[in-house]
Amino acid sequence: MKIAVLPGDGIGSEIVAEAVKVLKALDLSFEMEEAPVGGAAYEVSGHPLPDSTLNLAKAADAILFGAVGDWKYDTLDRPLRPEQAILGLRKHLGLFANFRPAICYEQLTHASSLKPELVAGLDILIIRELTGDIYFGQPRGRRVATDGHFPGAEEAFDTMRYSRPEIERIAHVAFQAARLRDKRVTSVDKANVLETFQLWKDVVTEVGQHYPDVALDHMYVDNAAMQLVRAPKRFDVIVTGNMFGDILSDEASMLTGSIGMLPSASLNAQNKGLYEPSHGSAPDIAGKGIANPLATILSAAMMLRFSLGQAAAADRIEQAVKTVLAQGFRTVDIAEAGAKTVGTAAMGDAVVAALTAQG
Ligand code: IPM
Ligand code: MG
C-alpha cells in the first residue's frame, strides 16, 4: 500500500506529521512518500502542483493531504496560486465525490456555537460534488490571462455548469451512502433562480427513483444554510454542488465544535481517494504547535476504510480519538473555558497511546 503524503502549507506539515505518527503506530505496512504541494511547492519549483508531485499522487493507492494557501500568494497569477494544487489534484484524479461528515462528539457538545441540545448526537454527511460547477467553468478576470495577456477590464465572470452524467454519478454516491445510514437524502440547489440547479434537481429526482428505500427531499441553498443552524439534526445526507458544498460544509463544521475535528474524503470512480481535513492552512497559527490534528487523523481513518481496505484499523483510530476526548485531551479550539490544553504533537501522542492501549 503506497500513500502519497502531501503536507502543503501553514499548519499542514504539523497536522500531517501527527496523522503519519498514528498510521505508523498501526501494525500495518505502508510505503509513505512525501512531496511538496501548494505554496511550499511553488517556493521550490515555481509551480503549486509540480509534475513530480502529481505523478506521485497518481501512482499512490491513496493521498494524505494537509492544506494549502497563504495570504502572501494572493497577488500571484491565478494558475500559480496554492489553491490550484488541490483543485488540480481533484481534477486530474477525477475525485468527484467529496465526503464531509459532521459528527458532534459527546464531549464537545459544549464547544459548538449552538445550544448543546441542538447538536447533541449530531451525525450528518455532506456529499459535495468536487470537479464541476462554477469552480471549473470559464473564468475571466484580473488574475486570469486570456490569450496570453491580462484583460485588466473592470468586469469579471465565472461560468457555472453541470452535465447530466456529472449529476447522476454524485447522486448515486449520495443515495448509496444514505442506504448505510438513516436512508434520507436532502438535495440542495438553487433551482428557483439558476438553470444549472434546475438540471441538478431534475436529475437527482430521476436517480432517486432507483432508490425507493431512500427518502429524498429538495431544499434551496439559502434555506439549507438556515436549517443547518436552526435544526441540524433534521438532516442525514446532504448532496449538493461544488460551490454550495464548500460553504455548507464550513457551516456544518462549527456545529461539531470545531472545524479542527472534520475529516474528509475525496473519491474517484475507482475509490482512489485524497484525504484531507476540511479546514484550511491557518497561516495565523502555523508554526505554533497548537493546531488540532484530529481532523487529519480522522481523515487517515477514512483513507484506511475507503481506499486501503482496512476498516478494522479505521475503527481503531476513530475509537482512539473518542478515548482521548473522554480522557480530557483538548487542543485550544475545542477546550472548555479554563480547561487545560495540549498542543498538536501531544494530541497525536495521546491518540497513539490510546491505540496502543487497545492491545
Ligand atoms: C475546501 C477549500 C478549497 C475549496 C480551496 C482551498 C480551494 O475551501 O476544500 O473546502 O474551495 O474547495
Ligand atoms: Mg472550503
pLDDT of residue 150: 59
Nearest CA-CA partner of 195 in 237, 241, 149 = 241
Which candidate, 72, 82, 75, places its Cα nearest to that of 49?
A: 82
Compute the distance from residue 327 Cα to the ligand 1 centre, in Å: 32
How far is it, in rounded angstroms, from Cα 154 to Cα 75?
17
Give the sign of the dihedral formed by CA 318, CA 324, CA 325, CA 329.
negative
Question: Measuring from atom 9 of ligand 1, which residue has the nearest CA?
Answer: 278
**How remote is the C-alpha of 295 from its chain's centroid?**
9
**Whether the Cβ atoms of residue 160 and residue 272 lie closer than 8 Å to each other:** no
Please state, in angstroms and rounded to a whole number, the distance separating the CA atoms of residues 202 and 344. Answer: 46
Answer whether 0.75 is exceeded by the pTM.
yes
Retrieve residue 25's grid coordinates.
503506530
- The ligand minimizing its distance to the Cα of 100 is 1
Residue-by-residue DSSP string for 262-317? -EEEEE-TT--EEEEESS---TTTTTTT-S--HHHHHHHHHHHHHTSS-HHHHHHH
Provide the residue ranges of all domains of the chain, joining segments of one domain with +.
1-100+260-359
How confident is the model at residue 137, as a pLDDT? 87
* Nearest Cα to Cα of residue 355 among 299, 314, 305: 314
d(CA 350, CA 341): 12
Cα dist. 324→57, 336, 345, 356 in Å?
32, 15, 13, 12
Give catalytic residues, as residue numbers: 135, 190, 222, 246, 250
Judged by DSSP in three states, 123 sits in strand
- Residue 96: CB atoms within 10 Å: 21
Instruction: Please identify every residue whose CB atom is under 5 Å from ligand 2, which is an ion.
Output: 246
- The candidate with the shortest Cα–Cα distance to 81, out of 51, 39, 123, is 39
169-228 pLDDT, tens per residue?
999 999 999 999 999 999 999 999 999 999 999 999 999 999 999 999 999 999 999 999
Q: Over the stretch 239-275, which tens digit does the pLDDT of each residue have?
A: 999 999 999 999 998 899 888 999 999 999 998 999 9
Q: How far is the CA of 162 from the centre of ligand 1 (A)?
A: 19
| Among protein residues, the one whose CA lies closest to atom 6 of ligand 1 | 83
Which residue type occupies 189? D
Q: What is the pLDDT of residue 155?
A: 77
What pLDDT does 254 receive?
87
State which residues of the chain have pLDDT below 50: none
**Which fold is adopted by the domain 1-100+260-359?**
Isopropylmalate Dehydrogenase (3.40.718)
Is any ligand 1 atom within 6 A of the Cβ of residue 61?
A: no
Angle ∠(334,252,138) on CA atoms, nearest 5: 125
Atom of ligand 1 nearest to the CA of 83: 7
| Atom of ligand 1 at shortest range from CA of 69 | 6
